[in-house]
Amino acid sequence: MKAFQDCYPDDYSHCYGCGRLNEHGLKIKSYWEGEESVCRVMPREYYSGGKKDILYGGLIASLMDCHGAGTAAAAKAREMGINIKPGSMPRFVTASLKVDYLAPTPLDTELELKGRVKEIKGRKVTVGITLAADGRLCASGEVIMVEIKE
Amino acid sequence: MKAFQDCYPDDYSHCYGCGRLNEHGLKIKSYWEGEESVCRVMPREYYSGGKKDILYGGLIASLMDCHGAGTAAAAKAREMGINIKPGSMPRFVTASLKVDYLAPTPLDTELELKGRVKEIKGRKVTVGITLAADGRLCASGEVIMVEIKE
């Protein structure tokens, strides 16, 4: 099964968070699991927050942004009846991002992001996202994504 | 003049975004300029977005988070009459972060973040932040920071 990000066109695959062509980046991968999109990430040990054992908040925001963009694109593709394959994915940019930090996120464990599409309205897709570590909810967020028209 | 981040206690200086002890991190530096806090950053070339010449949104969120945390701490210190010096800074964590992406942010130029304290209410400090590139406003945001009590 291809990840959402593996279906982005090449010229849109350079993102530090999710671009498969960014050799320094995180290359996160998102998939449908039923009605939810899921992304699992093991953070690098130097992505600490102020304290060494806690994840820095910027990474949480970055993961929500990239997972949200992927979820929006995949949801739009599904709505349009596009069969997702490499190069076929619609392209989205972030209009807004909101993150609520609910609990300190540990650095030494796999993170699980889950996305749920709240609304598709023309070119605008709103996605709600949660981030959990060891099954514990650590952050929730919402992104508004807008499809790029060439 | 010491940056806000240079005055964080050692055990709170490991953040990837702003910790002076994180050797892999960005080590951003924030200062007062009148009533505003300012932080100038030249992004690494691999912090691209989907397209190679544009900054990825996660970095913008990260910079706002760290600059906002520094601004909140410095504002609280000022309110309490603490003379900022290494080790003296109050410690804050992010409760929430909101970013509105207004225009694509170029990757090849220095970024300028400006913070303005909106409210100090007990342990809670709200900071509004703008991000400009070449004098052009590219993003605006707001963070709510909460002081850590030991």
Q: Per-domain residue ranges for chain B?
A: 4-147
CA angle, B70 as apex, B68 and B76 as ends, to 5°? 100
Nearest CA in chain A to B8: A50
Closest CA to A71 of A42, A34, A41: A34
- Three-state secondary-structure class, residue B87: coil
**Minimal CA separation from B27 to chain A, in Å:** 12
Model pLDDT for residues A2-48, shown as the tens digit of each residue: 999 999 999 999 999 999 999 999 999 999 999 999 999 999 999 99
Confidence of residue A88 (pLDDT cuts 50, 70, 90): confident
What is residue B103's predicted lDDT score, i.e. its pLDDT? 97
**What's at A59, amino acid-wise?**
L
- Tell the residue number behind the tokens 């010491």, with chain if given: B2
Q: What is the ipTM of this complex?
A: 0.96
What is residue B88's predicted lDDT score, i.e. its pLDDT? 87
**What average pLDDT score do residues A92-96 get?**
97
Averaged in consecutive runs of 10 residues, what is the pLDDT profile of chain B (150 residues)?
Answer: 94 96 97 97 96 96 98 96 90 97 97 98 97 97 94
- Three-state secondary-structure class, residue B77: helix
- φ, ψ of residue A33 in degrees (nearest 5): -130, 95
**Minimal CA separation from B109 to chain A, in Å:** 17
pLDDT for A69 beyond 90: yes
CA dihedral B19, B144, A96, B113 (to 10 degrees): -50
**Minimal CA separation from B92 to chain A, in Å:** 9
C-alpha distances out from residue A40 to A76, A86, B29, Å? 22, 21, 32
Mutation target vs B (from A18, A94, A129; most B CBs, 10 A cutoff):
A94
* CATH, range B4-147: 3.10.129.10
pLDDT for A76 beyond 80: yes
What is residue A47's predicted lDDT score, i.e. its pLDDT? 96
**What average pLDDT score do residues A145-149 get?**
94
**Which of B17, B46, B95 comes nearest A56 by C-beta?**
B17
Pairing of strands A111-121, A30-33: unpaired
